[in-house]
Chain A
Amino acid sequence: MSGFTRRVEHALADPVLKIAVELTAGTAEAKRATAVAAFPDFEAARARAAAIKDHVVANLGHYLQEFEANAQAAGATVHWARTAEEACETVVGICKRAGARSVARSKSMLGEEIGLPHALAQAGIERIETDLAEHIIQLSGERPSHIVWPAMHKTREQVSALFRARHHEPHLEETIAAMAESARRHLRSAMLEADVGISGANFLIADTGSVCTVTNEGNAELSIVPPRINIVTAGIEKVVPSLPHAIHMLRMLARSATGAALTQYTTFYTGPKRAGDRDGPEEMHIVLVDNGRTDMRESGLAEMLRCIRCGACMNHCVVFRQIGGHAYGGTYPGPMGAVLTPALDGLSANRDLVHACTMNGKCQEVCPVNIPLPTLLRGWREKSWREGLEPQAVRRALGLWAWGVRHPRLYRLGSALAVRAMRMAARAGWISRLPLAGGWTRHRDLPAPEGTTFIEQYARGRRR
């Protein structure tokens, strides 16, 4: 059993997981549908969003340089990191130079991708996750299972028990408000006392050098503004030419993710505190991370760089809805994760991931930037086949079948024999156990073939 299959079986056996995933993803699905229906010409807006991203990805160097120059002009320090390791070294280096003991971190998928929590722990720096869901994840020692709702796999009851065990002054009442208040008490002081705040970025605005973040809790603001030093880590594909472009992408992002018109907190930060400013960090560092993105652009995955991490693809995926995010094994789950994980962690360890898709196309249909996820997955499957990573048994069976298909006479003979054999296994029209088709008949019956094949009957003169 591969790691993926093991995680899948584990997930399918967990009834609580199923309820939790269905609740969040189902709500998101309904809300998105309402928001999209109310949007005048969503299709045109979607095409524009895809075009903006394609333009940026095709001219990445240009916009990154523009962003760097303008961010520097606003007083920020820009760092470049080719790999995850370089990115972590840079961040840890800044923290160490500042003598930081604790950092407040606002949730960022890039941070997870480059392994920043681990790197901070290794450097002996205390990390406080300030996003509510990420706080839950930190308390329970797990990893995020969704890119928008990292703790979507947990039910309210589970979170309540966790807070009672781990908060100093836990909630008295079993209400969401009381639980949120408990987390607020726990997190506020930590945020205000942190030496360094680390956040991600939803967009980098090239012509102003600004960083844009969206959160529902305002925790990015609280992690960025009070600490003395602010570090932003961002994938290089996050850059957009200007504010109007960012606004367009924000409209697509919020509606696709939660169905809201805009996220509660949408903030643009430009440089550190200036002379005369009352609040704000004294230093602002922006770490621009490649970590395989340039390679993706060169190797047929450029369209994947359009992704704005809204999570719609996973919310609408039949497979994700059954197995949840942890089963995917990488930082990013669902359809976008199945495309990204092999690019980040290698194909050979993830070949089963690229097959865990029915190719139903729903993910692409709901993707606000129209990423052809099924086509990209098929591309991975082709690469896996070419590189000999597919199991020998599959290769042999498919090879034999394909050879038969190319020899119509033999194919006719083979299908006539197969049909007769299946009919012998049938009882009253149904086959409930068939050797070699255990995957099918373990869970459902197989309708037996009607009689002889269509082509046989047609050749004998049947017309109706």
Chain B
Amino acid sequence: MPPSPRPSVALFVTCLVDAMRPRIGFAALAALEDAGCEVVVPAEQTCCGQPALNSGDAAAAAAIARQTIALLEPYEAVVVPSGSCAATIACHYPELLANDPAWLPRAQALASRTYEILTYLDQVCDWRPSAALDASVAYHDSCSGLRELGIKQQPRRLLSHVKGLRQVPLAGAETCCGFGGTFCVKYPSISNAIVEEKAAAIEASGADLLLSGDLGCLMNMAGKLHRRGASTRAFHTLEVLAGVADGPAIGEAP
């Protein structure tokens, strides 16, 4: 039997990963290749448009959606290392273009082929990580991934295969960290009150590492933990799974 062709997937790294923490993008490349995928990084990618969408600028959000759809259309699958950006493409592009008969089917087609990366690795590729890490971890369920895409068991299942890793319970793991995209700059003091509580819960969990699947939430929580002088280090789940969590944590100088 001839070997089945490797699926070609486009990696949409997200604007935050691109600018702030490229190593998550490289961890994605490593994990996807390990799972047998041929990965393409479309060079013209920018941002999924979520800030415009959530600010009410539907026209700009739709224009960005059309551009992103055209860019990602040629690929068999699109994977995104963020539940929130994946949900923007998979859930909100079709809503944004609902009244555009030319673009709606294209939005729907892309939506059906767009995956948050941990879901893709776990459920489509049936991949199991071979990484090892001697650490206790607290996992925060980022809201969009959890409620819009149903990401709950996938990361925990994948993490359960990492040798030496111990998952510890985090009180209020499903409670929003107060990042909320532009919410944290629109209402800084409410956002602060929310992330204070989150950071206290993370510290109380006693975990060595904080993991999550969205860089925005991670930057918010890590930034608060650092301001509080906590020793908990933060990584994107993917970094642990790809075996690169021996590098600097979020905010640590290389």
Binding site for B on A (CB under 8 A): 8-9, 12, 318-319, 322-323, 355-362, 364-365, 378, 380-386, 390, 394, 398-399, 401-402, 404-406, 408, 411, 415, 418-419, 428-430, 432, 437-440, 442-455, 457-459, 462-464
Contacts and interface: CB of A to CB of B under 8 A. Distances in A.
Contacts of A428: 253
B223 A12 contact: no
A14 B144 CA distance: 31
Interface stretch (B15-23, B109-117, B118-126, B162-170): B15-23
Contacts of A384: 56
A32 to B, nearest CB: 14
A358 B178 contact: yes
Nearest to A441: B223
B251 A430 contact: yes
Interface residues of B, number: 70
A164 B2 CA distance: 87
B22 A357 contact: no
B217 to A, nearest CB: 10
Contact of B18 (A9, A319, A454, A462): A454
A415 B51 contact: no
Contacts of B192: 442-444
B223 A446 contact: yes
Contacts of A457: 22, 26
Contacts of B183: 355, 357-359
Interface stretch (B40-48, B72-80, B100-108, B203-211): B40-48
Given A12-B190, A443-B227, A463 B26 contact: yes
Interface in B141-200: 143-144, 146-148, 174-176, 178-181, 183-195
Contacts of A399: 57, 60
Interface string B209-223: 000000000011011
Contacts of A438: 188
29 contacts: A9-B189, A318-B176, A322-B190, A358-B179, A359-B54, A359-B183, A360-B144, A360-B180, A361-B143, A361-B146, A378-B56, A380-B56, A385-B55, A385-B56, A386-B56, A398-B51, A398-B55, A398-B57, A404-B46, A411-B46, A415-B15, A430-B251, A443-B191, A444-B220, A450-B23, A453-B18, A454-B26, A458-B41, A464-B29
A454 B23 CA distance: 8
A381 B143 contact: no
Contacts of B52: 398, 401-402
A73 B55 CA distance: 52
Contacts of B144: 359-361
B201 interface: no
Contact of A455 (B45, B53, B223): B45
A438 B145 CA distance: 28
Nearest to B198: A318
A246 to B, nearest CB: 30
Contact of B55 (A361, A362, A390): A390
B49 interface: yes
Given A318-B178, A450-B22, A8 B143 contact: no
Contacts of B248: 429
B18 A406 contact: no
A449 B18 CA distance: 9
A444 B224 contact: yes
Interface centre among A8, A382, A384, A448 (most CB of B within 10 A): A382
Contacts of B180: 357-360
Given A406-B67, A450-B23, A359 B143 contact: yes
Contacts of B55: 381, 385, 390, 394, 398
B15 A443 contact: no
B226 interface: yes
Contacts of B138: none
Contacts of A355: 183, 186-187
A432 B178 CA distance: 19
Given A445-B226, A446-B223, A464-B30, A454 B143 contact: no
A450 B181 CA distance: 20
A174 to B, nearest CB: 30
A454 B46 contact: no
Nearest to B146: A361
Contacts of A359: 54, 143-144, 180-181, 183
A319 B193 CA distance: 9
Nearest to B54: A359
A430 B54 contact: no
A1 to B, nearest CB: 12
Contact of B193 (A12, A361, A365): A12
Given A405-B64, A406-B63, A446-B223, A429 B193 contact: no
B94 interface: no
B254 interface: yes
B224 A443 contact: yes
B56 A383 contact: yes
B12 to A, nearest CB: 11
A429 B253 contact: yes
Contact of B143 (A12, A358, A390, A430): A358
Contacts of B246: none
